[in-house]
Amino acid sequence: MLRDGSAAVRRLFRRSPVVLLSAALTLLLAGWAAVAYVRSDRGVPECLDRVRLRVAAAPVVAPALDQIVRASVGTQPCVSIVVQAQESAAVAADVANGVDVADAWVPESTFWLRRARAAGAFEVPAQGTSVASTPVVLAATEPAARRLGWPAKPLTWRSLIGPKARAEVGLPDPAADPAGVGAVLGVRGLAAGERDPAGSVAAVLRRLANRTFTPSDGLPAGSGLPGRADAVATSEQAVLGHNALAGGDKLVAAYPEVAVPALDLPYVVLPAARGPVRDAAAGFLTNLLTGAARDALSGHGFRTAAGFPPAVPRDGRLSPEIREPAPLPAEETVTEALTGWSGVQRSARILTVLDISGSMSAQVPGSAETRLSATLKAAQEGSGLLLDNSELGVWVFATKVDGDRDHREILPVAPLGGTQRERLAERLAAVRVKPRGGTGLYDTTLAAYRDARRNWTPGRINLVLIMTDGRDEDEESIGRSKLLAELTALQDPRRPLPIVFIGLGRDVDPDELETIAEVTGGQVFRTEQPSGIRQIFFSALADLSCLPPECRR
């Protein structure tokens, strides 16, 4: 029967195209009328073009934003909004490197906007519109809080991290977490009235440095805190979420009695957004500032941008008081605080540059190793001196290593935690001498310094480490005088970036290396035996970690 019916249709098509055309036109008009009826009945405008808006959001706020998007379908009928939970550090790095990562961004703090701009993303706004806030607090275990007099008296920052405090407090790495930044600034505020403020700050920071943890560790769901600490710096929102699931292991929040910047969750439109997408981003911000959106954010534990609190249990562990958010201080103040922290914590960002010119194949006197193999071994051992949150990358250089360039990156700078140490070992094992390659010292030094300056990171000892066995041999290089002039122009006293040279063997010109290093506030070490590089590496870090009252310089 089906076959017969199909045959009848085919016969109709062959014999009467006018009939078929009339039928098709009737169906088309009927369909158009039905769509028009549905659209007019439902009040949905016809979309000539649909816009897709990508919103990168810090993981702590992404669920709330996603809820707002789902609850407001139809507010922007021709716009499809996708909320992507992404770590703020990763977004800042991607934007600085020109990656089209999103159209709008909601990091935890304005701290990340500054970090992106400092890395070269100058089109990222310096300020955003705060869509919510949450204060930075010190979250203490209940036994620790009771030892300090809670609940009879409020738990204070001074009792936990003041100059005379003895509590064991954990700190998320301030170079990678705005709650850690807030804690460091709080230490400075509490020490302001001391006889020796700088010394008091240094003493407290040294104690905190022993219990630094990575932001990804967060607040554990079970009992105990990272590093078995008595308290940790975190956000009120994190404590509220932790306590809701913690059973009998609830935390007590100490609110700062000095100015500590809150997490202000700024909304910004990124440079990738253009035309209709940029308009859609502006429309979504309007939606985020409505009462319904504020209620959704409050339901996820956030305060309003003005500091009105969410619903909190009346058990004295969290404060229901209105707290006007303190802004992030000037960039110079934050950088100064993080520079002091880096000196205490011995955390570094190092771009290591290794000479692979032909002379590096020479044998080390009294050893079966070549200069290169001994250098690679020392570099591997030296990395073991660094904490996992230190960042390390590697270049190699000679002459014309990568086309006309005298250098090549073999390992991008990244934290040594995770798999970076394994990648370092793999890349170093693959390094070989370039036969008949000269020493392209000047061009490589300038290129490495420019790269490190562009990616200078607060809260780290930033330095360029160059290991070489010779002097510049590139006839096409910029020359010594121009190199010194360029390096001088790149100096910024607020963002120290020394070059440390390790000269290998007898062919180096120590005076030339001293002249270059001196411009940057760096140092030169020389050794006949590259096996001594490990001690040199440690000495360089110690000398560059200058902080009172034990400053070496």
Mean pLDDT of 469-484: 91
Average pLDDT score over the chain: 86
d(CA 282, CA 332): 31
d(CA 525, CA 340): 25
CATH class (in words) of the domain with range 346-544: alpha beta
Would the pLDDT of 427 be above 70?
A: yes
Mean pLDDT of 412-439: 93
d(CA 460, CA 350): 9
| % of the chain beyond a pLDDT of 90 | 62
Q: Which amino acid is at 38?
A: V
Would the pLDDT of 287 be above 70?
A: yes
Helix (H) or strand (E) holding 527: strand 523-527
Tokens of 265: 């969750």
Task: Convert the pLDDT of each residue in 106-143 to its tens digit.
Answer: 999 999 999 999 888 999 999 999 999 999 999 999 99
Give how far Cα 408 sits from Cα of 97, 293, 393, Å: 18, 49, 11
Nearest to 441 by CA among 481, 495, 487, 480: 480
Tokens of 167: 């509590």
Rounded to 10°, the helix 480-489/510-520 angle is 20
> Is it true that the peptide bond before 496 is cis, omega within 30 degrees of 0?
no
Domain ranges of the chain: 51-130+266-299, 136-261+329-334, 346-544
Nearest to 181 by CA among 259, 293, 270, 73: 259
Task: Convert the pLDDT of each residue in 140-191 to its tens digit.
Answer: 999 999 999 999 999 999 999 999 999 999 999 998 899 999 999 999 999 9
Pairwise pLDDT comparison (378 vs 553), residue with the higher score? 378
Give how far Cα 132 sits from Cα of 180, 304, 321, Å: 19, 5, 16
- Single pTM value for the model: 0.72
261 pLDDT tier (thresholds 50, 70, 90): very high
77 pLDDT tier (thresholds 50, 70, 90): confident
Task: Pinpoint the alpha helices (H) of 384-503.
Answer: 420-429, 441-454, 480-489
Would the pLDDT of 275 be above 90?
A: yes
Q: Which CATH number describes the domain made up of 136-261+329-334?
A: 3.40.190
Pairwise pLDDT comparison (22 vs 531), residue with the higher score? 531
pLDDT of residue 9: 29
| % of the chain beyond a pLDDT of 70 | 86
Instruction: Quote the strand ranges of 270-404, DSSP E.
Output: 348-355, 391-402
Would the pLDDT of 363 be above 50?
A: yes
Mean pLDDT of 93-107: 95
Q: Which amino acid is at 326?
A: A
Helix (H) or strand (E) holding 56: strand 51-57
The partner residues of 38 in beta bridges, in order of sequence, read none
Task: Convert the pLDDT of each residue in 14-60 to its tens digit.
Answer: 344 433 334 443 433 344 333 333 333 344 557 778 899 999 999 99
- Topology classification of domain 51-130+266-299: D-Maltodextrin-Binding Protein; domain 2 (3.40.190)
DSSP state of 477: S
437 pLDDT tier (thresholds 50, 70, 90): very high
Tokens of 202: 């240094």
212 pLDDT tier (thresholds 50, 70, 90): confident
Task: Convert the pLDDT of each residue in 299-315 to its tens digit.
Answer: 999 999 999 999 999 99
3 state SS of 153: coil
Pairing type for strands 169-172 and 231-235 reads: parallel
Tokens of 356: 């692979």
The reply to whether domains 51-130+266-299 and 136-261+329-334 share a CATH topology is yes
Pairing type for strands 266-269 and 79-85 reads: unpaired
